[in-house]
Amino acid sequence: MEKVMMAVEQVGDDLAVVSQAFDRLRAAARQDAFPPADRRRGWLTALERALVRRQDALVQAVDADFGGRLAHETLFAEIFVSLEGLRHARRHLAGWMKPRRRSVPLTLGPGRAWVQPQPVGVVGVIAPWNYPLFLALGPLTGALAAGNRVLLKPSELTPRTTTLIADIVAEAVPGDVAAVVSGGPEVGAHFGRLPFDHILFTGSTRVGRMVMKAAAENLTPVTLELGGKSPALVLPDADLASAATDIAYGKFTNAGQTCVAPDYALVPRSRVQDFVTALAQAVPGYFPADGGASAMSAIFGGAGRARMAALVAEARGRGAEVRELGPPVPGLDIGPAVVLDPPEDITLQREEIFGPVLPIVPYDDVGQALDYVRDRPRPLAFYLFGRDRALIDRALKTTAAGGVVVNDTLIHVAVEDLPFGGIGPSGMGRYHGRDGFDTFSHLKAVFDRKGPRLDRLARPPLKPLHRWLTKLLIGG
């Protein structure tokens, strides 16, 4: 542990260490361009075992970095889903690696065609602070399953967790397979300028643009997992109690600091008060009062707490009704809250909230609600609550979002066989499961020519047979 801590701290002071780690990984990727399946499975198995062994230490580290993180949230939303990803990849890896046969038209035969998945080389992963373990190990899993080398940069804002991640990676895989580096904005900028073969970034849209701009200098492909304002649409026939229970869980888990948390709820105008009542009944079940505060994870950092206070103060100052659903959240003067019918131009409605406040926007008909979603930047997630399949299908077909969940929240992220990714301002590209394997692979097209070579009859010099074959192939 001490060696890992020293290495991680040193990187923050010396950009050369990052470059040296990259060069080491690049050399290894060139020397061993296609690691066999058993070796890749060995990497994944070793990571799984190291993660299981250190689960208690990870819970404590995340809790300390956050200044208060519920243990069960780290166990389920970080450790369990990370383990599921590792196990899923290990089980399916051999099948993903197989050549994928493609058809050859009769006019271009005889021959065989297939797609050969091949490691791209060295993958850079930049992970954020809000789910520091899962959003680091998820991309790492996909990149290693695809046979790549990986340089991983967890957030410098979670130093204890970053140190443990570095320790786990160093214990599980050789240093020429994966390495962990850390540091602030200067290191991040340097990291983004390295000639990776692929970069996956999770974080804000603003920083995502910076990463993409830096990667463009090397024509490095990027996968950007960003965020945005993910809506929850409560349809007229929805079971309000059930919808409120699921929206409360999705919104207030990790104190709302989740990229796929519901960022606002669209509710039929006639049912808004009943919906708020149902939320007020659901929240204490998940986050009961504990010593005068809600038993909820803390808002991360002084800047995050100041921002949340400012968002709520602005809403109140503009005349919006802020209704608290419980005692104060740790680090804040307010409890988990809803904001009823907020003005459209306040910050709560313009920026991703990343906190335990849920704006509720009333609507008069479903068409109006769908227009509201379509008129705004495409979100990372969209949550639909209702029983009318025609309305659900209409919403699915006429709106765009990175992922959709019907009658629940968040859970799609844990379904490893579903791709995870955004669209437009909420990101580009996807990973998890086979989709992650493919993202971090070059799907190389291969055509194997067989005889007899009848195609040569259609080649110049021009002869009557050549003109006849051309007419036959083109028509007219």
In whole angstroms, what is the distance from residue 431 CA to residue 218 CA? 22
Active site residue 217: no
| 434, 425 contact by CB (below 8 A) | no
CA-based nearest residue to 137, from 214, 80, 97: 80
Structure tokens at 198: 């692929």
Instruction: List, in sequence order, every residue forming a beta bridge with 386; answer none if it has no partner.
Output: none
Q: What is the per-residue burial (b if ≥16 Cβ within 10 Å, else e) of 315-337?
A: beeeebebebbbbbbbbbebbbb
Question: Which of 48, 73, 78, 225 does the annotation list as catalytic?
Answer: 225
What's the CA dihedral at 105, 106, 110, 111 to 10 degrees? 10
Residues whose CB falls within 8 Å of the CB of residue 330, separated by 6 or more in sequence, listed in order: 67, 68, 255, 293, 294, 296, 297, 298, 299
- Chain centroid to CA 376: 20
| 148, 43 contact by CB (below 8 A) | no
CA-based nearest residue to 336, from 298, 300, 303: 298
In whole angstroms, what is the distance from residue 264 CA to residue 256 CA? 11
Structure tokens at 316: 């109140």
| 223, 246 contact by CB (below 8 A) | no
CA-based nearest residue to 78, from 327, 86, 112: 86
Q: How many CB atoms are closer than 10 A to CB 390?
A: 7
Structure tokens at 84: 């599921």
Residue 18 identity (one-letter amino acid): V
Structure tokens at 65: 């970095």
Question: Which of 259, 324, 352, 416 does the annotation list as catalytic?
Answer: 259
Structure tokens at 393: 């299908």
Active site residue 314: no
β-bridge pairing 337-340 and 321-324:
antiparallel
Structure tokens at 230: 């993910």
In whole angstroms, what is the distance from residue 29 CA to residue 359 CA? 49
| 226, 259 contact by CB (below 8 A) | yes
CA-based nearest residue to 166, from 11, 394, 290: 11
Catalytic residue numbers read: 225, 259
